[in-house]
């Protein structure tokens, strides 16, 4: 089955740029989606299809995907961005499974 690998944690100071990676075999050939989950809340979609944003998501959230790594970039980080972030793909080649990365805890220093 397809595996997505994320760093367990990323720390960044307010106002700086946070980059959260998601590694997978030839992930650049897949569409990657990103979710933000704050404590006690359901996940929220923040980036879809590698780099598109749902309505209501700030432009500070962006994404890219190439080769074996997809990246969620959060510019001008705010305290309210502190959360867990998960990447997700659909693996059409392996029993049509939806696959999540292990999640990354973003800490705003």
As to burial, measured by CB atoms within 10 angstroms (0-12 exposed, 13-18 middle, 19+ buried), residue 56 is: exposed
Token pair recorded at residue 53: 């944003």
Q: Quick check: 68 and 21 in contact, CB under 8 A?
A: no
**Across-strand partners of 86?**
35
CB of 86 to other proteins, least distance (A): 5
Looking at beta carbons only, is 13 or 45 nearer to other proteins? 45
Chain residues binding other proteins by CB under 8 A are: 1, 30-31, 33, 35, 37, 41-45, 48-49, 54, 84, 86, 88-90, 95-103
CB of 76 to other proteins, least distance (A): 25
Looking at beta carbons only, is 9 or 16 nearer to other proteins? 9
Q: Which of 72, 86, 78, 88 is nearest to 109 (CA)?
A: 78
Looking at beta carbons only, is 51 or 76 nearer to other proteins? 51
**Which residue is associated with the tokens 């959260």?**
20
């Amino acid at each position: 089955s397809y595996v997505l690998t994320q760093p367990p944690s990323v720390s960044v100071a307010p106002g700086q740029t946070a980059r959260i990676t998601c590694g997978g075999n030839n992930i650049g050939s897949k569409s990657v989606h990103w979710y933000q989950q704050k404590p006690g809340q359901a996940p929220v979609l923040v980036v879809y299809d590698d780099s598109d944003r749902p309505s209501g998501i700030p432009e500070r959230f962006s994404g890219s995907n190439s080769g074996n790594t997809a990246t969620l970039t959060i510019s001008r980080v705010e305290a309210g961005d502190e959360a867990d972030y998960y990447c997700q793909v659909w693996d059409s080649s392996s029993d049509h499974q939806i696959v999540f990365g292990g999640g990354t805890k973003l800490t705003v220093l």
